[in-house]
């Protein structure tokens, strides 16, 4: 889509964790999807080939890499898509509610990997409706409301402002108990 106003300038490789699993082609194998996704994200054939087994291991699906993705569970698809995205060495990583991928063990691995990318200089833009996710993973927060900026700053301050606004709105709505 084209923007109505403003502009954005991008420098570097962008990887996105938006709708995990939708980017995978069901008739291709996991390995073929790794190749396709890696190439589309700017990796060379050699880089993709050298990372395929590592990606499969991170996703916990090594023994299924040569099976068609249509045979994967939704969790396997999401884990594979996540693993591919984080192994492309992005300069900018866009994430939308990624923490709900897989079991607790895999979620921890995902969080640890994202934090490692951040330590290496990757800029991470995390979209979440869960205050704890923002507080635990962000050093700055941005509150958008109806497309406009409401607050920008340290997560605790932005979350406090959001909570205060939410509490005051609920107290004036008829039929709602505070």
In tens, the pLDDT along 9-60 reads 878 888 777 666 567 899 999 999 999 988 888 889 999 999 999 999 999 9
pTM assigned to the model: 0.75
Tokens representing residue 178 in the block: 């505070």
User: pLDDT value at position 177?
Assistant: 45
Reported as a single tens digit per residue, the pLDDT across 82-133 is 888 888 888 998 888 765 567 788 888 888 988 999 999 999 998 888 888 8
Task: Give exposure, 21-50, as e/b (b: 16+ Cβ within 10 Å).
Answer: bebbeeebbbbbbbbbbbeebebeeebbee
Task: Give exposure, 120-141, as e/b (b: 16+ Cβ within 10 Å).
Answer: eebebebebeebebbeebbeeb
Give 87's Cβ-side CA count (13 Å radius). 25
């Amino acid at each position: 889509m084209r923007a109505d106003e403003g502009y954005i300038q991008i420098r570097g490789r962008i990887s996105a964790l938006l709708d995990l699993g939708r980017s995978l082609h069901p008739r291709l194998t996991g390995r073929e999807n790794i190749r396709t996704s890696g190439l589309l994200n700017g990796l060379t054939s050699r880089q993709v080939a050298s990372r395929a087994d590592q990606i499969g291991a991170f996703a916990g699906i090594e023994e299924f890499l040569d099976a068609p993705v249509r045979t994967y569970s939704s969790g396997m698809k999401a884990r594979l898509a996540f693993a591919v995205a984080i192994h492309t060495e992005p300069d900018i990583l866009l994430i939308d509610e990624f923490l709900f991928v897989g079991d607790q063990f895999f979620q921890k691995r995902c969080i640890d990997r994202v934090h490692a990318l951040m330590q290496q200089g990757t800029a991470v833009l995390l979209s979440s409706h869960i205050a704890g996710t923002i507080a635990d993973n962000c050093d700055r927060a941005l509150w958008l409301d109806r497309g406009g900026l409401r607050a920008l700053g340290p997560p605790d301050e932005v979350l406090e402002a959001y909570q205060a606004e939410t509490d005051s709105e609920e107290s004036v709505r008829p039929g709602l108990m505070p």
